[in-house]
A and B are shown apart, each in its own frame.
Chain A
Amino acid sequence: MSTDTPSAGDGDSMTEAELQARIEELEETVADLEADDEQKKMTIVATQGSFDMAYPPLILASTAAAFGWDVVVFHTFWGLDILHEEKSENLQLSAVGNPNMPMPNALAALPGMDRMATRMMEKRIDDNGTATIDELIELSLDQGVELQACQMTIELMDYDEDDFYDDVTVGVGAATALQHMAESDIQLLV
Chain B
Amino acid sequence: MSEAFDIAETLDVKGASCPMPVVKTKQAIDDLAEGSVLEVIATDSGSMSDIEGWAEGTNGVALLEQVDEGDVYKHYVEKTD
Contacts and interface: CB of A to CB of B under 8 A. Distances in A.
A143 B26 CA distance: 10
Interface in B1-28: 15-20, 22-23, 25-27
Dominant secondary structure of chain A at its interface with chain B: helix
A129 B20 contact: yes
A130 interface: yes
A9 to B, nearest CB: 47
Q: Which interface class (under 10, 10 to 19, 20 to 34, 35 or more) fits B?
A: 10 to 19
B49 interface: no
B19 A63 contact: yes
B23 A63 contact: yes
Given A66-B22, A66-B23, A130 B57 contact: no
B19 A68 contact: no
Interface of B: 15-20, 22-23, 25-27, 43-44, 54, 57-59
19 contacts: A59-B18, A62-B23, A63-B18, A63-B23, A65-B23, A66-B22, A66-B23, A66-B26, A67-B54, A67-B58, A129-B15, A129-B17, A129-B20, A129-B43, A131-B17, A131-B19, A131-B20, A139-B23, A143-B23
